[in-house]
Structures are given as C-alpha cells and as structure tokens.
Amino acid sequence: MEKQRGFEVAKGFENSKINLPIRKTKCSAGYDFEAAEDTIIPSFKKGTKPTLVKTGVKAYMKEDEVLILANRSSNPGKKGLIMANSIGVVDSDYYGNPDNDGHIMFAFYNIKEEDVEIKKGEAIGQGIFQKFLSIDNDNATEERKGGFGSTSK
C-alpha cells in the first residue's frame, strides 16, 4: 500500500520515546501533538522572540495537501500561550528537508506574567490535514531548499 499521509519520528528523536499524534475521538478533526522535551516559555516582553516547542515529529502527505497546526483551545486561558503565527502551515515538501528533516515545532508566546513550563509528553496543539487548490495560471516551480521559515528564501 502506498503511503498517503501520516506521522513519523524526526531525525534526532529516534531514542526520545516520542508519541506520534493521534485523534482522541472518531469525530476529531485534529491529531494531538505533544512536546518532545521540557520547555520554558518566558513571559512576553517587548522584543521577545517566540519559543519553538519541539514535537520530534514530521508529517508526510500528498503534494496537494497541507497540515494546519492549531493551538489547543485551553492554552490561552489556562496557560497564557498563543501561537505566534496564529496557525502553522506545514507544506508537503517540508517533509524530509535537508535543514531539519521536516521536524514540526509550535511557535508560542506566553502572555502571562510568569514563565510557563511545558513538560515532555504534554499536549500542546493539534494538526489538521487539508487539501488545497491552485489557480489556473499557477506556475510555481521552485523546490524547497530548507526547513523552518525557508519558503521565501
């Protein structure tokens, strides 16, 4: 059977006891991602860069699909965590890229007054696979050459 879409452990995390994302109920749209390691997310101050929380996971999918990363609904209220980019977009050609093997990370800001600790194995967000459409005169031919944030480089 040909692989269509799914998750694998990213290079460098083979011995880290990573749990691959799963859906918790049969009607869930999203696959729940966990943190691959303990991470401190500092309280936001002007000029603070988002904290990347590693998952140790990469995703494969068809060329006309995308994995949308979304925050857990409880994160803003309970932990003060908001995603720096509102949603994450994982393109199909991110998988296996030479920079980071397609390792998926969630970019968070912490809007609480105190630092927040995320523990290894703690649920941090979810991923939803979607089809996407292109326009009639689309002529994109470039190929990805890097990892996180490399599309426009």
Distance CA 5, CA 14 (A): 20
What is the reported pLDDT for 146?
60
Say what percent of the chain tops pLDDT 90: 86
Type of residue at 95: Y
Phi, psi of 147 (to 5 degrees): -100, -130
pLDDT in tens, 79-120: 999 999 999 999 999 999 999 999 999 999 999 999 999 999
What is the reported pLDDT for 1?
79
State the CATH architecture for 8-131: Distorted Sandwich (2.70)
Beta strands 39-41; 116-118: pairing state: antiparallel
User: Is the pLDDT assigned to residue 127 strictly greater than 60?
Assistant: yes
User: Is the pLDDT assigned to residue 72 strictly greater than 90?
Assistant: yes
User: Is the pLDDT assigned to residue 145 strictly greater than 80?
Assistant: no
Q: What is the mean pLDDT of the chain?
A: 93
What is the reported pLDDT for 138?
86
CB 107 within 8 A of CB 23: no
**pTM (predicted TM-score):** 0.89
User: Is the pLDDT assigned to residue 141 strictly greater than 90?
Assistant: no
What is the reported pLDDT for 2?
87
Distant-in-sequence, close-in-space partners of 21: CB < 8 Å, separation ≥ 6: 7, 31, 32, 33, 34, 55, 57, 126, 127
Compare 150 and 24 and report the one with higher pLDDT.
24
